Every structure is written in C-alpha cells, then in structure tokens.
Amino acid sequence: MKIRYLLDENLSPRVKLTVARHYPGLDLLRVGDEGAPALGTLDPELLVWLDQQQRVLVTDNRKSMPSHIADHHAVGGHHWGIFLVRKRTSLLLLAETLSVYWDVTEAEQWRDV
C-alpha cells in the first residue's frame, strides 16, 4: 500500500500547495481539510484517527508529540509513521522528500516508526 500523508495544522498551508504543485499524485490531506480531522483536534485524538485511516503524520511538533505517541502505544495504539520536519526545511525539499518516501517505500514499512 502506498503512503498516505496527513499534514499537521501547525505546518504552513504552503506545504500542501507545494506538494500538490510538484507531486500531484501524492495522497495528502491537511488537518482542517474535508475528510481530515478538524482544526484544533488534540494530538491524542489525531493519533487515533491516523491509526484508523492508516496515514503518516507530517509534523514539526517535537515538543509534545513524543509523549503523546508513548501514551498512545501504552494503551495498545499504533500509528503509520510520524515524520518530524525541521522548522526551517525548505518547502521544495520537504515536498521532494515526501515524494521519494512515497515512491520507494510502502506504508507498512512506517508502522510505528
């Protein structure tokens, strides 16, 4: 199965625009989009949704996300990958990286990674 991405709401909306412009074949939602969790969804709820929808989270939340992931795993939860982005990563580099991961790996390889 190919990777399906969810962009965290704390990432710029320009990330989605850049990915769509350069790599329109990627399955990419952003928090707040139709079919995605609403803006303001708490991280623990987001992790449950990601597990159910089999999507990789792309976020720059290095502060609280690790503890939320640990709590999620402690109750038997899983996720389909968490990609932590550096705050100053260029939009084009991020888009290219997501495309490369989509192209050369399968979603199952990122389970709980």
pLDDT digits (tens, 9 = 90+) for 38-47: 999 999 999 9
The C-alpha atoms of residue 24 and residue 112 are separated, in whole angstroms, by: 26
pLDDT at residue number 87: 87
Number of domains in the chain: 1
pLDDT in tens, 66-81: 899 999 999 999 999 9
- CATH number for the domain spanning 16: value is 3.40.50
14 CB burial (10 A radius; 0-12, 13-18, 19+): exposed
Provide the residue range defining the domain that includes 63: 4-110
User: Which residues of the chain register pLDDT less than 50?
Assistant: none
Q: Convert 67-99 to b/e letters by CB count within 10 Å (16 or more is b).
A: ebbeebeeeebebbbbbebeeeeebeebbeebb
